[in-house]
Amino acid sequence: MMLALGFFAFSLKTAPYQQLRRVSSARAPRNAPVGQRPTGQFVGPGDDKITLSGTLYPELTGGPSTLKTLREMMLTGKAYVLLDGLGNVMGNWSIETVSETKSNFLQDGTARKITFELSIIREPDEASVLGDLKIEDAKRS
């Protein structure tokens, strides 16, 4: 397993990505006092985004059904726990976008090559996670 988002495992047989790009930011609004250079004040973490991109060869790896699963996960609007290949928990992440480009078609229109890009964004640690009960829900029981 290369990475797992909830119950979906990125591996050589599902969606092997060739590139992982992570962009993290901090929120630091800038003020410009009269006669001085603008200064920033750290007010907390900003967005943390990961973009995975790769190529699927349906005869060898995952194909359209793999991307369909990721789209269905995206449409739930839920955050999923992200684990790296070593089992380290990276927090709760939701799927922002799923894109694909199909090429090298067979006679019936089946693509032999599918390039994909998946963007996920970090959610607060207290975000609702699939299979996780919130404390308020447990108190009601």
Q: Tens-digit pLDDT profile for the chain (141 aa)?
A: 999 999 999 998 999 999 999 999 999 998 888 888 888 889 999 999 999 999 999 988 889 999 999 999 999 999 999 999 999 999 999 999 999 999 999 999 999 999 999 999 999 987 555 544 444 444 444
For the chain, the maximum distance between any two Cα atoms, rounded to a whole number of angstroms, is: 70
Strand partners, 111: 105
Give pTM, 2 decimals: 0.82
The answer to whether the CB of 115 falls within 8 A of the CB of 89 is no
Q: How far is CA 123 from CA 7, 23, 37, 108, in A?
A: 17, 14, 34, 41
